[in-house]
Structure formats: C-alpha cells, structure tokens
C-alpha cells in the first residue's frame, strides 16, 4: 500500500510559543478562525501573482466535461483508496474476516458507505427484501411478523454514531507482543462513523406488548453465521434502532441490507445485521457468539461475559502509520476520538512520549457515541518524536497507557483494546507503531 505524504506548512509567527513539549502549539488558532489564518505565512505563500491567472487555460477549460452518471463514484485518482481485506481462514472461510476502513485516507467524522468497515463471520448473505420477514416473539403479548414494506411505514429517527468491533485495534492488543507496522487503518479501522435512520425498537416492542418477565432480547441474523446476541431490555427500550438507511441511502449489503439492529456505543457484534428475529427472554441466551467469542479473558483464566460498552478511545490519524511526513515544519495533527459511554469532552496530545500534554481542539458538533475529530497545530523540528493522544469522556473515563491496559487481561486477549496509541516519528519522517 503506497504511503501518503503530508507536507509541512510555512511556519507563521501567529502560532506563538509551544504550549507543551515537542513543539505542540496552541489549539486556539483553530478556534479564532479565518481572520487569524488569513494572515499566516501559509496563506501568504498561496497568494498568486494576479497577472498570471488565466494566461494559460488548463485543458479542462477548453474541452467539455464528462457526461452525467446515475450513481456517482469516487474521482479517478481517489479510486485506489480501498478497505484492507483480511481473510484469516483463506479459502476455508472466505466470508469470515474483515474489511477495514482506511483511516489514514479520510477526514471528518462520517465514513463514506463504500469504505465503512465490514466484519462478517460467514459472508454477506443475499437477501430478497420482498421475501424477508422480521419476527418479534417470546415473552410478548402479541407475536408480530413484519415485511420490510410494513416496517418502512413506522415513524423513523436519524442518529449519527460509530460502530466499533470489539476486536478493533487487535494489532495493538495482547495478541501481538510486538507492535505491528501497518497503516493506522489496519490497526484501528474496525470503527466507522455514519448517520443511521430507522425505526426505534421500543415502538415495535410496545406494539408487541412486553410481558413483565421479559428482561432480555435475543437478536438473530439471517446469515450463514446465524449471528445471535443477547441484549438487556433496558438497552432495547432506550436507544436501539432497527436501521434501514445508512448516510441517506438504503443499507449496503455489507452493513446488513435490508435491515440491521443498531445499538449505539455497544460492541459492534451486537448490532446484528440482516436481522430476522427478536425474541424477548427472561435472561441472556448464552449464544456461541457471546460465550466462545466476545468474552474477555482475564489473567486468572476466567472470562468476563457481556462487556457491552466500547471504551473511550482515540488515535491520531495524521501523521500516523501509512503516512510519511515531509521535512521539519508546521503540521496539523488530526485524529479521531470516541466513547461508547457518551460524549468526548477532551483530547490531550503529547509530542514528548507522555511527559507533557496539550489540549486539542474538538470539531463540532460533539455527539454522544459518535466519532469526534480533534486537531492541534505542531511544529516538528525534524528530530525523532513520540506522538500520543489521550481522550476523556463526559462520564470521566480516560485512556490508559498500553502497559496498564494490557496488564488487566490475559496474554492473547484481543477484545476491547482502548489503550493509548503511540506513534514514533523518525528523523526521515517515517511513522512507526510503538509500544510504551
């Protein structure tokens, strides 16, 4: 995979003195907005000699452009930006694996549908939306069976949130004693952000009429993995959505077309795709997907079950592995932070291996259980540097150093890794994954 290159900007006085070690500058330059930036040397460098404009019209201005197309595709130079596909079982199980979001190539907080990560346990089923039925049964007064068409007539809501696989960042987990040197998208790209639209599950459960003994639900997918997970009834009634739309268009096949469960902030595995039934139960069902998998191995050999919420996490995405820096100078550090517990309230960045920290600017709006973009200006002096980000959420959760995170779990444990990510910047501008 080709490394992207980023160039430093000219170094304007406006950024002032560093606010923390390693050349971190004041985030306020972003908050002050355009007026300040317009006076920077970077803007001055970009100013053109007005006489030259229009002297040599580019080819694109002297030839009519291309015709319209019914469904848009990325601009030609952007087409090489692809998800990274990993199929650990090869031809034995080609549908078991992941397609990871290339975080190093994206900006903002919404993942384009074609680059949303996919984690499937036995491939993407082909489901005829006309034939598909969705059943609500178990401890309810009136079992209900829906067609997609009938479900689409219910009141809908729209919500922006992330989905993150519990196995995200497995390349940094206890599974790998040495840091893997792969692009940031291969380390943390089992998280994506999207705007989802669908029917609140509580409307459908109300219609079915919950039995007072119903304390959990079992959600089952119509795929060859028969994915099934138990969810506490509180979550089902609180913010669970039966999603039909993803960033404005109907779900992609990868994301569960024609319908999926969406449980904001919970481990991605529980957001069952290709949803075919919900059974209301008195207790958890202890399915294969929540006992043999998606349980967390502890140092004493026991396994924690039902660790639903995805922890507070962040990573710098630029500069990061998969991105090469181009010489000393002024850079913008940009990254993503998110928490399954609520909203990100603060991201601190260190450019001296955690000795000192500076607060980054957060992009608005900051939504609970959604990706949040952070930025901070940084003057790199060209010497080897250790970069880190540490996020905090509105419930007071913050990230741990990797060694501390790691010690909580058994060797080989890979789920729920939300340790602080460390990038090493070499003298040549190359970025490496570092464990400290």
Does 225 bind ligand MTE (CB under 6 A)? Our answer is: yes
Does 241 bind ligand MTE (CB under 6 A)? Our answer is: no
Cα 129 from Cα 152, distance rounded (Å): 12
When the beta carbons of 101 and 397 are compared against ligand MTE, the nearer one is 101
HEC letters along 337-391? EECCCCCEEEEEEECECCCCCEECEECCCCCCCCCEEEEEEEEECCCCEEEEEEE
Cα 227 from Cα 288, distance rounded (Å): 9
Alpha carbon 354 to its chain centroid, in Å, reads 24
Strands 249-250 and 241-246: antiparallel
Q: How many chain residues interact with ligand MTE (CB under 6 A)? A: 20
| Contact indicator for 132, 222 with CB cutoff of 8 Å | yes
Does 402 bind ligand MTE (CB under 6 A)? Our answer is: no
The one among 12, 268, 284, 319 contacting Mo ion by CB under 5 A = 268
Strand arrangement of the beta sheet that strand 133-138 belongs to: 144-147, 133-138, 275-281, 216-221, 228-232
Nearest to ligand MTE by Cβ — which residue?
A: 221
Does 274 bind ligand MTE (CB under 6 A)? Our answer is: yes
Alpha carbon 145 to its chain centroid, in Å, reads 33
- Give the footprint of ligand MTE on residues 152-171 (CB under 6 A): 163, 165
| Contact indicator for 9, 42 with CB cutoff of 8 Å | yes
The one among 116, 159, 375, 416 contacting ligand MTE by CB under 6 A = 116
State the alpha helices, DSSP H only, in 214-282: 233-238
Residue 204 binds which entry of Mo ion, ligand MTE, none, CB below 5-8 Å type-dependent: none
Q: How many chain residues interact with Mo ion (CB under 5 A)? A: 4
Cα 239 from Cα 260, distance rounded (Å): 14
Candidates 110-118, 370-378, 401-409, 426-434: pick the segment binding ligand MTE (CB under 6 A).
110-118
Candidates 119-127, 232-240, 367-375, 424-432: pick the segment binding ligand MTE (CB under 6 A).
119-127
The one among 25, 272, 362, 425 contacting ligand MTE by CB under 6 A = 272
When the beta carbons of 255 and 422 are compared against ligand MTE, the nearer one is 255
Candidates 72-80, 132-140, 148-156, 263-271: pick the segment binding ligand MTE (CB under 6 A).
263-271
Candidates 179-187, 223-231, 311-319, 340-348: pick the segment binding ligand MTE (CB under 6 A).
223-231
Of 29, 30, 104, 18, give the one whose Cα is nearest residue 355.
18
Candidates 172-180, 234-242, 270-278, 326-334: pick the segment binding ligand MTE (CB under 6 A).
270-278
Does 419 bind ligand MTE (CB under 6 A)? Our answer is: no
When the beta carbons of 9 and 119 are compared against ligand MTE, the nearer one is 119
Of 20, 28, 18, give the one whose Cα is nearest residue 375.
28
Tell me how far apart the terminal alpha carbons of the chain are, to the nearest angstrom.
26
| Contact indicator for 255, 204 with CB cutoff of 8 Å | no
Smallest distance, Mo ion to C-beta of residue 279, A: 22
State the alpha helices, DSSP H only, in 200-300: 201-208, 233-238, 288-291
Does 121 bind ligand MTE (CB under 6 A)? Our answer is: yes
- Give the footprint of Mo ion on residues 92-121 (CB under 5 A): 119
Cα 245 from Cα 241, distance rounded (Å): 11
Candidates 50-58, 66-74, 267-275, 299-307: pick the segment binding ligand MTE (CB under 6 A).
267-275
Of 166, 193, 174, give the one whose Cα is nearest residue 344.
193
The one among 269, 285, 295, 339 contacting ligand MTE by CB under 6 A = 269
**Residue 303 CB coordination number (10 Å):** 14
When the beta carbons of 8 and 269 are compared against Mo ion, the nearer one is 269
Residues that bind ligand MTE (CB under 6 A): 116-121, 163, 165, 221, 223, 225, 227, 254-255, 268-269, 271-274
Residues that bind Mo ion (CB under 5 A): 119, 165, 268-269
């Amino acid at each position: 995979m080709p490394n992207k290159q980023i160039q430093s900007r000219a170094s304007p006085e406006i950024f002032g003195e560093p606010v923390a070690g390693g050349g971190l500058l004041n985030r306020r330059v972003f908050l002050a907005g355009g007026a300040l930036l317009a006076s920077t040397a970077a803007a001055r460098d970009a100013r053109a000699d007005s006489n030259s404009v229009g002297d040599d019209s580019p080819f694109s201005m002297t030839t009519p452009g291309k015709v319209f197309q019914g469904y848009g595709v990325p601009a030609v130079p952007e087409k090489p930006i692809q998800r990274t596909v990993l199929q650990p079982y090869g031809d034995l199980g080609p549908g078991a694996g992941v397609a990871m979001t290339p975080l190093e190539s994206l900006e903002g907080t919404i993942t384009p549908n074609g680059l949303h990560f996919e984690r499937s346990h036995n491939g993407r089923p082909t489901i005829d939306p006309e034939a598909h039925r969705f059943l609500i049964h178990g401890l309810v007064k009136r079992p209900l069976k829906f067609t997609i068409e009938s479900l689409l007539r219910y009141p809908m809501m729209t919500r922006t949130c992330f989905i993150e696989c519990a196995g995200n960042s497995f390349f940094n987990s206890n599974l790998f004693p040495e840091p893997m040197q792969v692009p940031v998208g291969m380390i943390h790209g089992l998280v994506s952000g999207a705007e989802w639209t669908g029917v609140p599950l509580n409307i459908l459960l109300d219609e079915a009429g919950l039995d007072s003994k119903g304390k959990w639900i079992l959600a089952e997918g119509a795929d060859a993995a028969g994915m099934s997970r138990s969810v506490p009834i509180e979550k089902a009634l609180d913010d669970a959505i039966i999603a039909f739309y993803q960033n404005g268009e109907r779900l992609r096949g990868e994301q569960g077309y024609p319908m999926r469960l969406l449980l904001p902030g919970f481990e991605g595995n529980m957001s069952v795709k290709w949803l075919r039934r919900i059974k209301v139960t008195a207790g958890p069902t202890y399915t294969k997907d929540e006992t043999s998998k998606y349980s967390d191995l502890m140092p004493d050999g026991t396994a924690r079950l039902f660790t639903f919420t995805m922890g507070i996490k962040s990573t710098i995405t630029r500069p990061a592995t998969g991105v090469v820096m181009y010489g000393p100078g002024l850079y913008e550090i940009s990254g993503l932070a998110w928490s399954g517990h609520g909203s990100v309230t603060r991201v601190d960045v260190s450019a001296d291996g955690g000795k000192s920290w500076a607060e980054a600017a957060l992009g608005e709006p900051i939504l609970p259980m959604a990706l949040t973009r952070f930025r901070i200006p940084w003057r790199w002096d060209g010497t080897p540097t250790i970069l880190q980000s540490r996020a905090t959420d509105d419930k007071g959760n913050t990230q741990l150093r990797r060694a501390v995170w790691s010690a909580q779990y058994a060797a080989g444990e890979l789920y729920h890794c939300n340790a602080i990510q460390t990038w090493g910047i070499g003298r040549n501008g190359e970025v490496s994954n570092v464990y400290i």
